[in-house]
A and B are shown apart, each in its own frame.
Chain A
Amino acid sequence: QLQLQESGSGLVKPSQTLSLNCVVSGGSISSGGYSWSWIRQPPGKGLEWIGYVYHAGGAYYNPSLKSRVTISVDRSNNQLSLKLNSVTAADSAVYYCAKVVDFGDNWYIDLWGRGTQVAVSS
Chain B
Amino acid sequence: QSVLTQPPSASGTPGQRVIISCFGGSSNIGTNTVSWYQQLPGTAPKLLIYSNTQRPSGVPDRFSGSKSGTSASLAISGLQSEDEADYYCAVWDDTLNGLFGGGTKLTVL
Contact = CB atoms under 8 A, between A and B. Distances in A.
Interface size class of B (residues with CB under 8 A): 20 to 34
Contacts of B92: 102, 105, 107
Nearest to B34: A108
A14 interface: no
B20 interface: no
A97 B103 CA distance: 19
Among A46, A110, A112, the most chain B Cβ lie within 10 Å of the Cβ of A46
A109 interface: yes
Interface residues of A, number: 25
A62 interface: yes
A4 B90 CA distance: 21
Interface of B: 2, 31-33, 35, 37, 43-47, 50-51, 56, 86, 88, 90-92, 95-103
Given A105-B32, A109-B35, 20 more contacts: A47-B45, A47-B88, A49-B90, A49-B97, A49-B99, A49-B100, A51-B98, A60-B98, A62-B97, A102-B92, A105-B33, A105-B92, A107-B33, A107-B91, A107-B92, A108-B33, A108-B50, A108-B51, A110-B56, A111-B47
A110 B50 contact: yes
Contacts of B88: 46-47
Contacts of A47: 37, 45, 88, 90, 100, 103
Interface of A: 37, 39, 46-49, 51-52, 60, 62-63, 96, 101-102, 105-115
